[in-house]
Structure 1
């Protein structure tokens, strides 16, 4: 990345970076309370609606499989369409529509919150429920992701990771106001040059989510927010997120030896002139050369009748 002063923004490196995992953890930590409460609320609402549907449309032929975890809280990742074999066919249809619409609102809200954080803007709990303006486009985008995952899985067992990896920045783009079709097109164009690493990254992150399930599902309160933040980081670094200026590198302000003034990007802009009424520093007055005669001998200055120096 190269910092450009005067509103030029920055050029995205367009390289999938496994460092996004560590960076997403750091960004999550800045608003961990808001993220955890939001995930808890979304999970509880999802389980409440599911319980109501089970009561209204029970499947008499369903046999519950034993679970080592006992009663569980189910989380909607917001990127897939869900089914539930405990329901009748009508109940499953209603549940399918619920997971699609509810998941789209959850996605729009949490991805928008992630975009705000990556931009360096402050976030609060209310931001985790502000996805209404992006809900309709997220509905369509989630459907595209679902179909891409199915097609990738049919072509190859692990193909879904590579097809969905091409769309990694897309959800954050939709939550930043782009239309679903535009987000898909821009995302694929940005990721296609590094599609293999993108698929491997998504595979590794999926393993991380799987590991986070082990401690009584508590790890999902961290990895689900990180998933949304990773999409925003991919948006920033692969497609170029408007309005974001990444921090300068360690050489910020270090001029090149023997070069003055420093070239752009090697030194910060001058500090004068940024405050109204503040003038730039004045250079010292120029001194005229000493007077000499035709023979080269120094001459005394003529007398000053005003007596000023």
Structure 2
């Protein structure tokens, strides 16, 4: 079964991270303040591949079960463990179930550092999420709070995949072998908006304090690839064509340094869009849209049938009005 190495987003510290699966393995991408060339990124890939090959020869980590619930099991390999994370995850799970529906259970494994991901045996796990918590840092939110928010966020990504699969929308790998962001049959904006919904209040609130935020054209927002994912995928395609990615059993951690506001805008817009849907159409609206996509409807069909919204342009007018009123 696929092992996922995931790190979430935290806008107010200017960190964006992205998780997805490649060749049955996991990748972690992180965005922060400075910029880096594609050549430097390619060099990172080569170094990570070599490092991960070495990690695979080390003994597997011993996992300790620290919390069991209906929709998740929390495992730990690290001393950095808060007794509140399990209870907080239960709150996130209850929120997901109340808005979207009951997902299949997932397994969440907390490790110290990204390199440890390769040492976790997830073969017996359901929708495994392996999270290197010492890679999660913020200057504006306490360490315990940001880690808690990240665990909730990434678990919600996994719950959405498991929920969609349970409803018959199977995760079909891309024909070119490239990774997908979240469930491959669901749009990126929906995946990100659902995950932001699950965060704790401190992390969620921090997203809405970006004074540089500029809204993305609604039609573009609802159809675009995740902006960090798109950048990473281009680099991975070049690596694959050069036959520098050969193994089907490795984990890579790719760190991107960037100050592009458009990537921050994507996360901030997802946070605002979730608030907008709830304020305009009710707490269940996001779950209704999820179900419509699972049933094969387009966003236009969902908006028209569920909420009597005539067009994406009409939706954008209402959203822009909401943004003005929210600031």
| Structure 1 and Structure 2 fold alike (TM over 0.5) | no
Greater share of strand residues, 1 or 2?
2
Which has the bigger relative contact order, CA under 8 A and spacing at least 6? 2
User: What is the TM-score when the length of structure 1 is the normalising length?
Assistant: 0.29
